[in-house]
């Protein structure tokens, strides 16, 4: 005959977690003992094709919650509203996009406006000022960094490829080329001679 069963007893759990040397106290929501991380936000654009190699090159993390990203339509509406006001203030009919390899920026902007269902796009549907082409004519270089150096514009390779920095340097380069052309007498063009006065 078997004797009475012995019950296994376990020590009572402490109200506070036991700390082992070199380890953090256990957290009830995390298996690794760390506070739970905030969920990653969704991609900036639903169904967007985000090339990992491009993200690695630029250092951009589209899922970073510290980007303080806003919905695409909201961002575009704010930008295009300011452009429309400038167009009206200067008596123009359309805005011309200035960009380095401007075809890419132009197509990206118009695709975003169409995706956000924005009807009043102030930019010209196909005309642009491409600083890559203009820099090739003015300085013999199409690369933004090299063209800026030849134009006497400070350029940092560490800060390059961020949207704000590249846009600022592109604007500086464009203004430098236009100002140089004006100094050479190319702009504004001379008024055409009156044929009646010549006779």
As annotated, the active-site residues are 161
What DSSP element (H or E) covers 76?
Answer: helix 72-89
Q: Is the dihedral of CA 80, 81, 84, 85 positive or negative?
A: negative
CA distances for 177 relative to 44, 60, 97, 172, angstroms: 35, 30, 16, 9
Q: CB under 8 Å to 122, separation ≥6 — which residues?
A: 80, 83, 84, 87, 94, 95
Give, in degrees to the nearest 5, the angle at Cα 132 between 126 and 136.
Answer: 125
168's tokens: 């600022």
Q: Where are the beta strands (DSSP E) in the chain?
A: 95-99, 123-130
Return the number of other C-beta atoms located less than 10 Å from residue 66's C-beta: 6
């Amino acid at each position: 005959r078997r004797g009475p069963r012995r019950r296994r007893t376990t020590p009572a759990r402490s109200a506070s977690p036991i700390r082992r040397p070199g380890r953090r106290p256990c957290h009830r929501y995390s298996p690794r003992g760390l506070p739970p991380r905030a969920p990653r936000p969704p991609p900036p654009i639903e169904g967007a094709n985000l090339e990992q190699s491009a993200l690695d090159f630029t250092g951009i993390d589209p899922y970073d919650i510290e980007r303080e990203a806003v919905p695409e339509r909201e961002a575009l509406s704010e930008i295009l509203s300011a452009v429309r006001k400038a167009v009206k203030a200067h008596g123009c009919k359309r805005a011309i996009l200035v960009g380095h390899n401007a075809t890419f920026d132009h197509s990206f902007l118009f695709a975003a406006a169409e995706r956000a269902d924005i009807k009043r796009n102030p930019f010209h549907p196909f005309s642009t000022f491409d600083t890559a082409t203009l820099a090739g004519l003015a300085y013999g270089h199409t690369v933004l960094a090299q063209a800026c150096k030849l134009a006497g514009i400070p350029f940092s390779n560490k800060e390059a490829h961020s949207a704000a920095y590249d846009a600022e340097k592109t604007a500086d380069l464009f203004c430098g080329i236009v100002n140089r052309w004006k100094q050479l007498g190319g702009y504004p063009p001379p008024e055409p001679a009156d044929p009646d006065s010549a006779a």
